[in-house]
Amino acid sequence: MAYRLEEETPGDWWEVEGLYDLCFAPGRTALSSYRLRDGIDPVRDLCTVCRDNEGVLAAVIRYWPVRVAGRPVLLLGPVAVHPTRQGEGLGGLLIHETLAEGRRLGWERVMLVGDAPYYGRFGFRRLEGVIMPPPTNPDRILGFDLVRGAWAGVAGMVTRFL
């Protein structure tokens, strides 16, 4: 099956939200990462949809701006793959492509709250001293350097990008 990656548009919003509802548990918007996104525009250049050759939404990824110790950080997530398309590598494709684009756009560091064994294969590692608003398991706070050493010495509370 052929897929194409496209920047998410405002017209994709309902379809993307429907995929997130399908892939994640009810109450997902009550998570601490959503409080950091509330009222903040996503980084549109990195929010990407993956569609099959018939235009059906297969996967999606979003990024949001946050700050840690006053420094700008990309907050990756959520990333979702339609259950009928899981195992095809679409999540990995979205992650690889958008991280490369984030680097090209001049971002230095990315973080997320997620499963270390899954995201570790993309180069994410646990961030020591980076604190998400509660309730967040600190073992799930992961980071990735878009620029070598970008996370070195960066610690503190994750805050909204205002």
Q: What is the identity of the amino acid at 59?
A: A
Three-state secondary-structure class, residue 61: strand
Tokens describing residue 66:
């946050």
pLDDT value of residue 30 = 66
- DSSP calls for 128-149: TTEEPSSS--GGGEEEEESSTT
Tell me how far CA of residue 27 lies from CA of 34, 61, 66, 146, in angstroms.
Answer: 11, 19, 22, 31
For residue 50, what is the domain's CATH number? 3.40.630.30
Tell me how far CA of residue 3 lies from CA of 50, 85, 86, 89, 147, in angstroms.
Answer: 6, 11, 14, 11, 29
b vs e for 147-160, b when ≥16 Cβ sit within 10 Å of the residue's Cβ?
Answer: eeebbeebeeebee
Q: Give the pLDDT confidence of 7-59 residue by residue, as tens digits.
A: 999 999 999 999 999 999 777 766 778 788 888 999 999 999 999 999 999 99
Of 146, 142, 140, 139, the residue nearest 96 (C-alpha): 146
| C-alpha to C-alpha distance for 20 and 59, rounded to whole angstroms | 9
Query: Strands 156-160, 130-131: parallel, antiparallel or unpaired by DSSP?
Result: parallel
Tell me how far CA of residue 148 lies from CA of 19, 128, 151, 152, 159, in angstroms.
Answer: 34, 17, 8, 9, 23
Q: Give the pLDDT confidence of 83-133 residue by residue, as tens digits.
A: 999 999 999 999 999 999 999 999 999 999 999 999 999 999 999 999 998
pTM here is 0.94
Question: How many CB atoms sit inside 10 A of residue 64's CB?
Answer: 22
Residues spanned by the domain of 12: 3-160
Domain count, the chain: 1
